[in-house]
Amino acid sequence: MKTETDVWDALWRRVRMRVDPYLLLLLGLSLFALSPLTAPGYFYEAHDGRHSVFYLLMFDASIRDGALWPRWAMHHIQGYGYPTFILQAPLGFYLGELFILLGAGYTLAAKLTWAVGFLAGAWGIYRLLCHWLESSLGGERPANQMAVRLAGVVAGLLYVYAPYHLVDIYVRAALNDSLLLGWFPWVFLAFDRLIALGDAPGWPRRLALAILALGGVLLTHTFALLSFLPLLMTFVLFRLGMLWLSPANRKLAPFLLAGAAGVGGLLLTGTFLLPLLAEGPYLQQQVYVTNTYDFRNHFIQLGQYFSPFWGYGYSDDPQGANDGMSFQVGLVPLVMMFVSVTLLWRRKELGRETLGLLVYLLAVTVGLLFVMTPWAAPLWEAFPPLAVIQFPWRLLALVVFTSSALGGLVVWRLASDYMSYSEEARGGVLVLGLLVAFASYSYVYAQLQPVEPWREDGRAVYRFEEEHPDMIAYTQWVQEPFTQSPMSPDYAAEDYREDYSENGRLTRLSIVQGSGEVVSQYSRGSSAGGVVRLDGPATVRIHLLYFPGWQVWVDGMLVPHRVSDPYGLIEVDVPAGEHRIDVRMGATPARRLGTLLSWGMVLVVLGLWWWPRQ
């Protein structure tokens, strides 16, 4: 008969079997990279530091206003609002919203979201390297398991402590850009397993996971459409090509499954992508691709890849020699790339799978580094959609991924050769892990400012636009640019207050024809309005930029509205008397169709997940 001690011992053995100590080591060492996030204050003066907070503020306001898939950001353009979430992919904001609903402030929610992205990326590339290496060894547990785990740990640390990864968070403070790095390895892992195992039992779940992973990365940042998606396509073609080279693996199933996952991932994001494609042209595009955002001013000079310079400035030198921020690849990743070249000379000692991966990752890394230099300018000019990327150096995020994975493979090859004993392998984990971490640890620093109340309400957006009027964007209905609105004095008032972006202080209504008075008004995340008392028929102007989806009610009845010149605002005719006016951002045909496609794919994914395993 088992005693209580026997039961607890058996339970502890099961827990130990499920817990990967090398993964725990990786996550533990990664925490040092997050140390600035635990300090009081926040890096508001980083490039997008304020954006990462006030985007989350306005996203939360729309959620609280009942818009479960927000499209409108109310405080933008001096309070006239802007369809920010038509352009900004929402998944990172939903993650931040989860922390807000759990009680975190907007700034703390942004910090916690970054932490999740960092740790998810480290875990993902660890899993990807272990999968690759175990698969290359015939799908069996390798004799030197610690060499595989060592490769995963080092790859994860290379990923976390890559200089550009730290730039993305502590210099740029670009929330969604950073979260992309959390997705990259998981998408590669999902597609690799889908292709490698083909139609073997369990394919429906593998297909569902690949669809979800691709949908996740596309819903995290619009940038992924023009950067990561092409990279993923090259990997899928590489993997399918490797299978085709082996006559025993020439099956149609991997091709069909990879294609289905790609199409499924795009359809899953229909509720975002379709409105982006259909309604994005209604926004004046030149502000996004000219002046500060002209890609021609942001190429990387070759020497900047090797320069140890670190700064908190901008990519503000068109010639690249005196940029205020760092574009270095990092000493350890560069060494790993050099070693990978030497390993290729000894290719007979490498397995077919490992050799292929080394060649692919090295070629892609070098190709990406070239594309970011002025030598690649003709390519950017020949393909106009690339201008939307704005900064060629953004592709460093992909280099961080490919070079980290490459480094992991190099470490595995070296560990397999020279670390035959467990003690040596453990020592190698610590030494190489600490080397990778401390090679970039001096860059783990943020310029912090106190979290003041105005930083977490509409005044943050207003003050940013006051400082950078050239960055105010307009819709196609705006005929004359402007930098002020009737709500500007409201934001500037010393007694400005709001409760989760809801307030009655903003001047939302004005009577432009006829006489009367505005009795009350309100402003929320995706709606606004108030009560007017009119002496006779009048025209009421609603201080919101017109955009498809706005609906206007007078006393609960849906009424027609029009666009006023020259600022593209909403106007409505109202009869004499006291009336309540409500304006709300609603659906459009593109949004309805996109939502239908997304929900349809959700049902397909659920069906695949619960598909009978046999």
pLDDT in tens, 412-462: 877 766 555 455 555 665 666 677 777 788 899 899 999 999 999 999 999
Least confident interval from 66-80, 315-329, 486-500: 315-329
Short-list 602, 170, 164, CA closest to 372: 164
Backbone angles phi, psi at 312, to 5 degrees: -110, 20
pLDDT given at position 161: 94
Least confident interval from 318-327, 372-381, 469-478, 551-560: 318-327
Domains, the chain, ordered by start: 21-51+70-102+113-269+283-443 (no CATH), 497-588 (2.60.40)
Q: Determine the average pLDDT of the residues in 582-601.
A: 96
pLDDT given at position 433: 65
Tell me the average pLDDT of the chain: 88
Report the phi/psi class of residue 511: left, alpha or beta, with left for phi > 0 and alpha for psi in -120 to 50.
beta
pLDDT given at position 81: 95
pLDDT given at position 12: 42
pLDDT given at position 143: 47
- Which pLDDT band, with edges at 50, 70 and 90, does 139 fall under? very low
Q: Which residues pair with 499 in a beta bridge?
A: 502
Q: Determine the average pLDDT of the residues in 460-484.
A: 92
Is residue 289 scored above 70 in pLDDT? Answer: no
- Cβ neighbours, 10 Å, residue 614: 4
Say if residues 566 and 102 touch (Cβ distance below 8 Å). no
pLDDT in tens, 75-122: 999 999 999 999 999 999 999 999 999 999 999 999 999 999 999 999
pLDDT given at position 594: 96
Alpha carbons 248 and 425: distance in angstroms, whole number: 36
- Cβ neighbours, 10 Å, residue 262: 18
Question: Residue 252 carries which DSSP code?
Answer: S
Alpha carbons 447 and 194: distance in angstroms, whole number: 43
pLDDT given at position 425: 53
pLDDT given at position 140: 46
Q: Determine the average pLDDT of the residues in 505-518.
A: 92
- Which pLDDT band, with edges at 50, 70 and 90, does 242 fall under? confident
What pTM value is reported for the model?
A: 0.92
pLDDT given at position 348: 55
pLDDT given at position 432: 66
pLDDT given at position 138: 53
Q: Determine the average pLDDT of the residues in 63-85.
A: 95
Share of residues in the chain with pLDDT > 90 (%) = 67
pLDDT in tens, 243-264: 888 766 778 889 999 999 999 9
Q: Determine the average pLDDT of the residues in 519-530.
A: 94
pLDDT given at position 199: 87
pLDDT given at position 438: 75
Q: Determine the average pLDDT of the residues in 294-312.
A: 90
